[in-house]
Amino acid sequence: MRSSEQNTQTPLQKLGKQDPALSVPQGQHNNSAGESLPGPRSTFTVGVWEDKNKKCRRTMEDTHAFLYNFLHTPAPALGTETPSTKSKSTEELAANESTPSLAPTASSSEMMETDNGYFAIFDGHAGTFAADWCGKKLHIILEETIRKNPNTPIPELLDQTFTTVDAQLEKLPLKNSGCTAVTAVLRWEDRIPNAQSATGSTAIAPATAAAVKAADEAAKAEEKSGDSGVEMSKTPPQNPAASAVSLSSTSEATHARLRTTASRQRVLYTANVGDARIVLCRNGKALRLSYDHKGSDENEGKRVANAGGLILNNRVNGVLAVTRALGDAYMKDLVTGHPYTTETVIQPDLDEFIILACDGLWDVCSDQEAVDLIRDQQDPTTAAKKLVDHALARFSTDNLSCMIVRFNKSALQTATKEPSSAIGVEGDPTCVSGKISEVDKIVGDAKRKVAEDGVPGVGVSGSNSGKGHDPKVVEERERISMEKVVEEEPGLVEGEEGGEVDMKGATAASPETRMKLQLPEGAVK
């Protein structure tokens, strides 16, 4: 009997025995990150709707994930202080649970409310493995990467995370599986004015690190210029410990000076590979914060050709319609996992919501049309469903997943004008030592559950019919037509994908995509 059960397990379920994160059960309405609900101080709400599109697809290969309390924004690492001394990691949490069958202590189970959001949609191809794996793991890898590098700009950390995910997928089974991805991190930051930045400001942690580095280099240059080159310096080399103390003092002084000009701001970071998109509604205008990586794109075509590949029928080597993706190990030399990234400071008076969706929507709906359709719809779940229904009515032939993140204007304005009411940054009164992040809690609970039951939970997307997400309690809403199990029908072969590139209003910064993007006529620069 046990042998039969093992044979019916998916590859992801089998891997869940070694990795508790992969055994995290789906949250409300198929949230791959687990159960995540808004807190009393949340300044945004999430709504999700998905549909297999049964007339055209046999299976649902999309996955989505979101968190209402992503990792708090770390304070800068000053001098000899290391990030590991400031917060627990998921690995440390798991290692400390030597007796998982025991009830968790209050300190290990109390979650920190941060009001920092994480949102993602993964559109799988050649099966669901890569999309399901990313839905369970990418946010965990990103959180750990941010913890270890508090002074590094988030766009660079998103790039590191995507390449790490790519490297890990390459070591796993089903190497032909891949997925496109669009992810976003919404967080509170203390930022200082910076005229050289496209956003007009810079996060205080990387600014502090840059200022200290510049001062250190200037001091070394001055010391070098003062050396005559004839006599050896009679000054003995400084003790390493004393140097570290000096550097720490310089860092603290620099940080204290910069804080006097800092202000608390809401910042949205995005990263994408492939043709899933994220669109920001700013005062009714659609601003695209992603880039369509398709074979039909001239820049991407040149990159593939330079890597030794070719574009046939708008597909990489005549096979894959997207030129960037996670997974697809057999084509990794051509289909890179380096994302296109953006950084946007949210304007509480103007910014209303963001849309994340797979290409099933964008194939039949423009950015502005999507914004216009749902702008007056305050409930994000209803708005997401409206866009999915619109795509079905327009005869979309792909799986459909849509996520709406609606900003609470009054709460955002209050938090921005009154920093004492904001949360999510290390050092805030609400950032109490001993509390853990939402990710740590979810994974820790899954680990204990596996230890108690002896087998991992389902932990994979089971939605082949289409479900919605409601941030309220499940009983408060009725989901009838979309919750019914539908009979599967033969799927269609995915057709050629093309489309225009429409970069609008994004501030881009990605190590891989620093190539100049050619904007179409009429695009907002």
Radius of gyration of the chain (CA): 24
Q: Answer yes or no: is 300 within a domain.
A: yes
Give the residue from 483, 489, 459, 457 showing the smallest Cα distance to 469. Answer: 483
β-strand 326-327 against 315-316: which pairing, if any? unpaired
| 213, part of any domain | no
Which token pair is 298? 């001239």
Looking at the domain assignment, is residue 235 inside a domain? Answer: no
Q: What is the DSSP string of 347-387?
A: -TTTEEEEEEE-HHHHTT--HHHHHHHHTT---HHHHHHHH
What value, to the nearest 5°, has the Cα angle with vertex 321 and ends 320 and 322?
A: 95
Output the CA torsion sign for 19, 107, 265, 382.
Answer: positive
Helix (H) or strand (E) holding 511: none
In whole angstroms, what is the distance from residue 336 CA to residue 333 CA? 7
**What Å distances lie between residue 226 and 142, 212, 243, CA to CA?**
45, 21, 20
Q: Is residue 376 part of a domain?
A: yes
Tell whether 487 is covered by a domain: no
How many structural domains is the chain composed of? 1
- 357 within some domain: yes
Tens digits of pLDDT across the chain (525 residues): 455 445 567 777 778 778 888 888 888 878 998 999 998 889 999 999 999 999 999 999 999 999 999 999 888 877 644 444 344 444 443 344 333 333 343 335 688 899 999 999 999 998 899 999 999 999 999 999 999 999 999 999 999 999 999 999 999 888 889 999 999 999 999 888 888 888 888 887 777 777 766 666 666 666 666 554 544 444 455 555 444 445 556 666 766 667 667 788 899 999 999 999 999 999 999 999 999 999 999 999 999 999 999 999 999 999 999 999 999 999 999 999 999 999 999 999 999 999 999 999 999 999 999 999 999 999 999 999 999 999 999 999 999 999 999 999 988 888 877 766 678 888 777 777 778 889 999 998 888 887 777 655 554 444 434 455 444 433 333 333 333 333 333 333 333 333 333 333 344 444 333 333 333 333 333
Rounded-to-integer distance, Cα 178 and Cα 327, Å: 4
* Cβ atoms < 10 Å from Cβ of 90: 23
Query: Residue 30 in 3-state DSSP?
Result: coil
Contacts of residue 382, Cβ cutoff 8 Å, sequence gap at least 6: 47
In total, the chain counts a number of residues equal to 525
Burial (CB < 10 A; 0-12, 13-18, 19+), residue 109, is middle
Cα 346 to its chain centre, rounded Å, is 17
Q: For residue 16, tell me if it sits in a domain.
A: yes
Domain containing 81 — which CATH number? 3.60.40.10
Give the residue from 408, 368, 410, 373 showing the smallest Cα distance to 388: 373
Nearest-angstrom CA–CA distance, 226 and 241: 24
Q: Which residues pair with 121 in a beta bridge?
A: 64, 182
Q: Answer yes or no: pTM beyond 0.85.
A: no
Structural domain contains residue 501: no
Domain containing 143 equals 2-208+242-476
Of 86, 158, 172, 87, the residue nearest 129 (C-alpha): 172
CA–CA distance from 111 to each of 37, 424, 430, 437 (Å)?
A: 12, 12, 11, 6
Structure tokens, 426: 């290390």
Please give the Cα distance from 301 to 293 (Å, whole number).
9
What sign has the CA pseudo-torsion 182, 186, 192, 193?
positive
